[in-house]
Amino acid sequence: MKTSLIWGFLLVLVIHVSAQNWKASWITAQNVQNVPNTWICFRKTVTVDSVPGQALTQIATDTKYWLWINEKLVIFEGGLKRGPNPLDTYYDEVDIAPYLQKGNNTVAVLVWYMGKDGFSHVSSGKAGLLFQCITPNFEIVTNQSWKSSIHQAFGTSGGVQPNFRLSESSISFNAQKDLGGWQSSTFKGNWNNAFEYGLPPVYPWNNLVLRPIPQWKNSGLKSYGNLSKFPIVSSEDTIVGHLPSNIHVTPYLKIDAPEGLTIDIRTDNFNGGSEPNVRAEYTTKKGIQEFECFGWMNGQKVIYSIPKGVRILDLKYRETGYDTDFSGSFSCSDEFYNRLWKKALRTLYVTMRDNYMDCPDRERAQWWGDEVVEGGEAFYALCPKSHKLFRKGIYELIGWQKKDGSLFSPIPAGNWNQELPSQMLASIGYLGFWNYYMHTDDKQTIADNYPGVKRYLDIWKFKDDGTLVYRQGGWPWGDWGTEVDIELIENAWYQLALMGAKNMAHLLEKTEDEAVYVRQMDRFKEAFNKSFWNGKEYRHYNYKGKTDDRAQALAVLAGLADKDKYPAIFELFKTQEYASPYMEKYIMEALFQMGYEDYALNRTKSRFNEMVNHPDYTTLFEGWGIGSKGFGGGTWNHAWSGGVLTVLMQYVCGIAPVEPGYSKFQVMPQPGSLKHASASVLSVKGWIKTSFSNQASGFRLSLSVPSATTSIAGIPASNVNQILLNGRTIWKNGAFVENKNVINGFSKGKFICFEIGKGDWNFESFRMQ
């Protein structure tokens, strides 16, 4: 462990250092050298007199493990990359009762010690395993009585290695050294007893924190869509298996071959983002053999390079990924936005695993600017199990806070510690932590992490004019692309951070803090406009480039720009297009907030056209194109480009929580030029389903409201002279008509609004012709 990574993280040990009574010891193999990419096998035979209804088992490793009990696979790639803070380690909890039998039981664990720091992992420096199952009738605990052996068949592939951001190595497997059948009860290996380190907390794994997210979804082995005719005799072929979309896979093969041949396995994303990523090599033994590469890789195609003379009996893949359901849906009259939504969903899912990632190939890193966008999408597109990944990220961000109060990402990380101030402000603020709370009603997470938020905001300084002293951090990054008014962007993100902090303080009844934030926001808005508004646009006085469209959008979203400035900002958006796909989401959102929904849809279609209509990719790009058109290496599966999904759900279909956890929510569609659209969201309160039809003669809105909540349904007010609810008049010629199903009626901006309770509702408005 690098001493520079041992910071003050005492604020958030709440997630939650285990209260377990540990009887198991950390163990490893005798004479292990702790070199990167070490694989170790552990075995234990135990006697069970009677199988309990439940046998909760705690398992910790550095870094990953595969568990078999009685030769049945129980866990495929368990464990999480380290760690919840710079020192500690996650552990899993698994019920093994369904796999136990009366009498002798064989427990077998394969541990993969990555052994390298990366942008999503900090190595402990030592390979280890901890396994504890305590029941009233028996105990299974790791100690020196376990047998262990380094698995010599595993190694590191030769040639080009994965780039420095990845803690994973490219795996090689020499089948001639395989420990065939080592998971079985009949295996007779001359293995040594394990080396015992001691009971937790013990260095270098320290305190153990319960895994806060589910085990991976596992498809089992599946056939490639384009490969069905086996056997095939290779003539030194490259065989390509087509996947259904860009997904996480562990490739599999079954072959009949002579010994000593090498098969290369990689995906079409091996050089994704212009950097080498992971691949695999398999060296054959003689005869029929099977191999599955346990290190996941992603792409749309798996490419096997197989030497001449090998008889290919089968090629398959296993998809694994974060365990959540694709519950949300969206469709509309413009097929472009339907394709964009689906590609955004695919991009979101392929960038979820141990943490939210910017991309699953080049970095696998929890950049928090990306996570703010991803988390927002997940609330609409995925089921509530996805919320746990955002929650994990919140605790990690504050858990890695430095002694000086500064924050940085990606975290967890062993070879990165640089602050990106704009991303940190985005993370802790209104669109980050507070958005999480509004969709989940998880007050405890806010309470646990608010002290870190306040501590970070307290380190920011002000100039005499009331605006921010520029905080460069470790990387003065505001966005990819050109014409980045970084100081102006930073000021706008700061106001959004204050908005979130003020709301958190109010929630937690920290009245003094709330009052401070309110005063700061008022003063800051006045200073921002006095210093940066020149009558037609916002510009920082130190900035000499062309006017930055991103900063204008953030000023709108932060409430810094009043409505009288909207027309000028709108004119600027017509000519300035400098934002990356990451920041374009905020421009689209600002246009909707200002009421320019037609232009928002048109601009988005123009800017995203190439990647949405590209026939070769199921995901969205890092930049506006690939290759020379890309940014930062130009991955073609980049999380931040999917933010339009959120805007389509939140603004086009109008679905948003009004009170935390959807205790009250609104459906206030802004259809623009769209003739119809429909959406469904599985909220923490249940299913919300809505659709609208937008015609010259009137507007129809259908809405399903779940129990334990109410909804504000907004009908666009333009030229309306009558509104019906389930066939009965509730508004006519400017007046509300009493109806027992309407809790409250009121006007809000461009909408006529009705608050309704549980049920299925159909609104119909008629327009004056």
Q: HSE-up of 597 (CA within 13 Å, CB side)?
A: 18
The two three-digit tokens of residue 152, written as one number: 């010599």
Q: Is 703 left (phi over 0), alpha (psi -120 to 50) or beta?
A: beta
Cβ–Cβ under 8 Å, residues 489 and 554: yes
Q: Which residues contact 144 (CB under 8 A, 6 or more apart)?
A: 25, 27, 193, 194, 195, 196
Q: How far apart are CA 475 and CA 536, in angstroms?
A: 30
CA dihedral 633, 635, 636, 637 (to 10 degrees): -160
- Strands, E assignment, 578-669: 655-657, 664-667
Question: Does a cis peptide bond (omega within 30 degrees of 0) precede residue 231?
Answer: yes
Task: Give helix 597-613 / helix 581-594 axis angle, nearest 10°.
Answer: 160
Q: Alpha-carbon distance 235 to 306, whole Å?
A: 8
Distance CA(286)–CA(22), nearest Å, equals 46
**pLDDT means over runs of 10, the chain (769 residues):** 42 50 97 96 97 97 98 98 98 98 98 98 98 96 98 97 98 97 93 97 98 98 94 89 98 98 97 94 98 98 96 98 98 98 98 98 97 98 98 98 98 97 98 98 98 98 97 94 97 98 98 98 98 97 97 98 98 97 98 98 97 96 88 89 98 98 98 97 98 96 97 96 97 95 95 98 92
In contact, 195 and 144? CB cutoff 8 Å: yes
Count how many Cα atoms sit within 13 Å of the Cα of residue 97 in the half-sphere of its side chain.
Answer: 11
Where does residue 735 rank: exposed (0-12), middle (13-18), buried (19+ CB within 10 A)?
Answer: exposed
| Alpha carbons 684 and 427: distance in angstroms, whole number | 22
**In a 10 Å sphere around its CB, with 0-12 CB exposed, 13-18 middle and 19+ buried, how is residue 347 labelled?**
buried
Alpha carbons 189 and 147: distance in angstroms, whole number: 9
Secondary structure class of 150 (helix, strand, coil): strand
Strands 56-62, 26-28: pairing kind: unpaired
Q: How far apart are CA 582 and CA 692, in angstroms?
A: 29
| pLDDT for position 27 | 98
Strand bridging mode 262-267 / 311-321: unpaired
Q: What's the confidence (pLDDT) of residue 19?
A: 59
Q: What's the rounded Cα separation, in Å, for the pair 552 and 566?
A: 10
- Contact between 426 and 369 (Cβ < 8 Å): yes
- Give the pLDDT score at 18: 52
Q: Is 630 exposed, middle or buried (0-12, 13-18, 19+ CB in 10 A)?
A: buried
pTM for the structure as a whole: 0.96
Which two tokens mark 696?
A: 């010259």
CA 349 to CA 331: how far, in whole Å? 19
Task: Enter the tokens of residue 406.
Answer: 């500064």
Is residue 191 within 8 Å of residue 305, measured between CB atoms?
Answer: no
- State residue 245's pLDDT score: 98
Burial class (CB in 10 A: 0-12, 13-18, 19+), 700: middle
Q: What strands lie across the sheet with 720-725, from one edge to the other?
A: 329-332, 676-683, 686-695, 698-705, 759-767, 720-725, 728-732, 735-736
Coil vs helix vs strand at 113: strand
Please give the structure tokens belonging to residue 664. Answer: 């009250």
Which residue in this structure is represented by tokens 């760690």?
83
Q: For residues 27 and 140, is the Cβ–Cβ distance under 8 A?
A: no
Q: Could you give the C-alpha distances from 212 to 264, 281, 338, in angstroms and in order?
A: 36, 33, 33
